[in-house]
Structures are given as structure tokens and as C-alpha cells.
Amino acid sequence: MARIYLSPPHVTGRELELVQDAIASNWIAPLGPHVDAFERELCAVVDVEHAVALASGTAALHLALVVLGIGPGDEVACSSFTFAASANAIVYTGATPFFVDANPATWTLDPELLDRALADRIAAGARVKAVLAVDLYGQCCDYDALGKVCARHDVVLLQDAAESLGATYRGAPAGGQGSLAAFSFNGNKIITTSGGGMLVSQSPEWVEHARKLSTQAREPVAHYEHLETGFNYRMSNLLAALGRAQLESLPERVATRRQINARYQERLGDTPGISFMPVAPYGSGNFWLTCIVVEPSEFGADREAIRLALEAEEIEARPLWKPMHLQPLYARRRVYGGDVSARLFERGLCLPSGSALTETDQERIVGIMLAARGTKVSSDKLG
């Protein structure tokens, strides 16, 4: 039986047609008509004015920080409950990240804790320049609350929207809430270019500066002239063609992932010891991944026992993000709170959620999960 992945790429429409067009036109370069069109089309979907297509979401986060002038001696607050790319981008600039825990009601950056953290760092004399807020598993942070906190402390609010394309916050598409926002089109995301990202903003200056930096910061003269250090971060026209085709089906992809989530809830929602990621009242997620928390004493097996039972059947499930403050790499960095994300990491599991997942596969997954009840509770704690 074919392995079931957590969130594999899913080709649904005009991918081949548009990639063939890119090849036929000989625009096989990190620029071209599909790159320009992909940027325009993503702007329309996200309702922002400016975008630059890049090689990855990580590159988008990095350039967001660079165009803000963030560097050595600066500090940036970051959601602890995230993928390492968010924090790594801060470190690339030479700035120092500090971590803030999640709110248990949304699993995203806790605005009150952020307020206290910023006050504490600023009182200690730190030069805090920005907050990197991460939309988690397709659910936005509470941007009204975060925006007020950032304004009070005079720091810029950046949005890591790598996982939230297609979600909304108070009726507006995810990606327009931060001063700058980064999307990812990595192979596991809701739409993919195999690898890719986009930086968006209402500010033309920031986006144009990022565009220049993404192709080694060439000055607009005939020869190669450079005043600042650039990067090779631009998206290929071939991949932009793929991205355009994928973007066309974004609404269907969100609807399918929502349906998958609803089916998991229907089949597992009443099971003692299993709870689902809370749905925040201020928006609607894209249900990129369905996430559960397992209470071993009530369910009769722990998260690892479920994961291993699925793995034995060639089904991929993964623990929730290991928070940054528990990562050996970032263990010596400052953290505010930390217990919420630590507990979610210990007990949480992401379930297969790809938009091509069939109902039959989902029934099988649920059956294996329920059959894991009463199996030995694993003592294997992930370091």
C-alpha cells in the first residue's frame, strides 16, 4: 500500500500547461512573465499591494528583517511555538531572538505575554526592533491585540504566514496583518512551487528593496555595481508557473482541508483523551494540518504510541513543533513563559491532512488510532 504522507504536494489543474509555456517561451530564469503574474495574482488573493517572489519562505523572512535594517545589537521577539526557520531568519541578520510562548486558546503568540516580554527587554535597555508572529497550522495570530502591543512599544509587527495562505483574520485574507508578511510554497504547504516563498507588504519601498536584495543588490547601471550585500533569493520563472496553477485552486484546497478536519472531528471528537486545536473566534483557518492533543490517562495510549501505530502502517504523523526554547540550538536564549508550547509538543500530533487524502484512507487512519488504545504507553520522551 502506498505510504500516506502528512501533507504531500497535490497537482490539480494547469500545472503542466503553464510549466510547458515557461519552457516553450525560454523564460527559464529567476525572472520572467510567470514570476510577475504570480506576484500580481498573489497580491489580489491576499489583498496587499506589493509582493516579491523568492526562493523560499525562509528567504522572505530574512529579507523582511534586512529591509527593516535589523542587524547585530538588535533584538527580535519571536513565537516560540514554530518551525526553526522563523528564528533562524533572525539569527541570519546577526540580531538576537527571544522567545514568547503561545496562548492556550489559539496556540499562537500570546499578546499579554508579549506585552510583558517587550516591557521587560526594553526596560533592560535592549534595542527591540520587531516582533515575528507566526500563524500556526493555518490559524492566524490575534493581530488586533498584537498590533496594539507593538504600537505601545514602538516595534514593527512581522507576520510569518508560511502556513496560513487562504486563512482569514476578521474577514481579511491572512498576510495583510503584519507590516511585512512571508509565505512559503514548500512542498508540504497548501500550495507549492516545490520550493518557494513570497514577501508581501503595503509598502512599496520595503518590497522594492527586497526585490533588489534578492538578485545580489545590483545597482541600475549596465555593468555590475554594488553598494550593499545582496542575496540570490529570487524565484525561478518555471516555479512561478507551477505556483500560478496551484493558486487557482486555493479555495478548493482550503475547503478540502476543512472537510478533512471536520471528518476527523466527527470520528474522534467524542473520544476521551483526544482534543483538537482550538479554533480562534477572530478568523477562519485554512486547516493546513489537523492537530490533536492526546491525554494518555484518558485515551489509554500516548501520542507516541499513536504515531508509532500509524508509522507501522506506512502512515506519516508528526509531533507538533518542538518549541524554540526547547531546541538545543536556542536553549540559551531568553524565553517568556514556555509551558504551554512545551505541553503541546509533549502531547500533540499532526495528522495526515493533504488535500488528496481519500475518505477511505481517513477511515483507516482513524481505525488505527482507535486500535492503539490500551497499547503500552511509551516512556520514550523526545529529547
Ligand X SMILES: Cc1ncc(COP(=O)(O)O)c(C=O)c1O
Output 178 or 197, the one with its CB closest to ligand X.
Answer: 197
Asked if residue 355 binds ligand X (CB under 6 A), the reply is no
Candidate list 7, 58, 177, 237; residue touching ligand X; CB under 6 A: 58
Output 85 or 369, the one with its CB closest to ligand X.
Answer: 85
**Identity of the amino acid at 254:** V
Candidate list 18, 35, 68, 85; residue touching ligand X; CB under 6 A: 85
Residue 40 beta carbon to ligand X: minimum distance, rounded to whole angstroms: 21
Residue 83 beta carbon to ligand X: minimum distance, rounded to whole angstroms: 4
Residue 285 beta carbon to ligand X: minimum distance, rounded to whole angstroms: 14
Candidate list 38, 81, 83, 336; residue touching ligand X; CB under 6 A: 83
CB 75 within 8 A of CB 129: yes
Output 39 or 160, the one with its CB closest to ligand X.
Answer: 160
Candidate list 7, 177, 186, 192; residue touching ligand X; CB under 6 A: 186
Asked if residue 249 binds ligand X (CB under 6 A), the reply is no
SS3 214: coil
Which range touches ligand X (CB under 6 A), out of 32-40, 53-61, 112-120, 331-339?
Answer: 53-61
Which range touches ligand X (CB under 6 A), out of 107-115, 155-163, 170-178, 305-313?
Answer: 155-163
The CB-nearest residue to ligand X is 57
Residue 282 beta carbon to ligand X: minimum distance, rounded to whole angstroms: 19
Output 233 or 299, the one with its CB closest to ligand X.
Answer: 233
Residue 178 beta carbon to ligand X: minimum distance, rounded to whole angstroms: 13
Asked if residue 160 binds ligand X (CB under 6 A), the reply is yes
Asked if residue 134 binds ligand X (CB under 6 A), the reply is yes
- Angle 12-289-54 (CA atoms, 0-180°, nearest 5)? 65
Output DSSP code: residue 157: E
- What is the Cα–Cα distance from 194 to 85, expressed in whole angstroms? 17
Asked if residue 169 binds ligand X (CB under 6 A), the reply is no
Asked if residue 162 binds ligand X (CB under 6 A), the reply is yes
Output 286 or 362, the one with its CB closest to ligand X.
Answer: 286
Candidate list 22, 30, 43, 56; residue touching ligand X; CB under 6 A: 56
CB 237 within 8 A of CB 32: yes
Using CA atoms in the order 262, 264, 268, 269, what is the torsion angle rounded to 10 degrees?
A: -20
SS3 309: helix
Strand blocks (E) in the chain: 50-54, 74-79, 96-100, 127-134, 156-160, 168-169, 172-173, 180-184, 197-201, 274-276, 283-284, 290-294, 318-319, 335-336, 348-351
Output DSSP code: residue 114: H
- What is the Cα–Cα distance from 334 to 110, expressed in whole angstroms? 16
Asked if residue 197 binds ligand X (CB under 6 A), the reply is yes
Which range touches ligand X (CB under 6 A), out of 77-85, 247-255, 328-336, 368-376?
Answer: 77-85
- What is the Cα–Cα distance from 285 to 106, expressed in whole angstroms? 11
Cell of 322: 518542538
2: Cα within 13 Å, side-chain hemisphere: 7
**Identity of the amino acid at 218:** R
In the complex, the residues that contact ligand X under the rule CB under 6 A are: 56-58, 82-83, 85-86, 134, 160, 162-163, 184, 186, 197
